Amino acid sequence: MLRPRIIPCLLVQGGGLVKTVKFASPKYVGDPINAVRIFNEKEVDELMVLDIDATAQGREPDYRLIADLAAECRMPLSYGGGVTSVEQIQRIVGLGVEKVALSASAVANPGLIEQAAARVGRQSIVAVLDVRASADGRYEVFTHNGSRRTGQAPAELARRLEALGAGEIVVNSIDRDGTMSGYDLKLARQVREAISVPMTVLGGAGNLDDIAALIREFGIVGAAAGSLFVFKGVYRAVLINYPPRSTKDERVAEALRRR
């Protein structure tokens, strides 16, 4: 049975765990393997790991790190960063990763989605759309850590990528990244209305109320967050955290009742 998922998103740079604000000013917050061990103990629903430099630097995924993460991880794992070919996707899935996330490569070569879905199954293919709003409120997908414009609207692109075989769409708000100011529900609504596959929303979650608001709005949705699960308190002290299962399940159930 499908249910809402609450998903820590870990950003990796140079083998270390970092956190950004609006895709800039990465702050080192620890070791990704240690974070995975802590999340194992906290029984998280799913884990997303994104290498934020691989595509920008034009290099392949770090297979050793991926293998170490997959070996340690006791929950479903999604990995993205530097993936440009079906062969790479097969290799990553072969290492024990359940989902492979594509961003810049999906925009530059949409056929990769179709080829990959045919090879490993659409349930393993995730399209990540990094989105920024313009001054007039229009949304546009960006790639390469938010440095390259695509000229494409997220809802339309999400619809095309789903048709090609993407089994999940991740909507990531660049403007909300690291701000802990709440999800961009307007952006999420535009994409949700365009697709029928599972959707995960990333960027802006600052507390469990933000996650509850997302679930009340969309029901069965992935609520992903970075800062919420690596910082604690008003001074943003580094502390890997996740709500206890009883608290999480209670808040999710309440949000669904209030839809």
For the annotated catalytic residues, the residue numbers are 130
β-bridge partners, 132: 140
Residue 137, CA atoms < 13 Å, CB-side half-sphere: 2
Residue 105 CB burial class (10 angstroms; 0-12, 13-18, ≥19) = buried
Separation between Cα atoms, residue 60 and residue 84, nearest integer Å: 8
β-bridge partners, 9: 48
Separation between Cα atoms, residue 229 and residue 7, nearest integer Å: 9
Contacting residues for 124 by C-beta, under 8 A, at least 6 apart: 89, 93, 98, 99, 100, 116, 117, 167
Q: Which of 176, 168, 134, 140 is nearest to 155 (CA)?
A: 140
Query: CA torsion angle for 70, 71, 72, 73 (degrees, to 10)?
Result: 40
Q: CA 136 from chain center: how many Å?
A: 26
Question: Could you give the C-alpha distances from 12 to 26, 132, 203, 226, in angstroms and in order?
Answer: 10, 21, 16, 11
User: Quick one: which H or E segment has residue 245?
Assistant: helix 245-257
φ, ψ of residue 26 in degrees (nearest 5): -60, 135
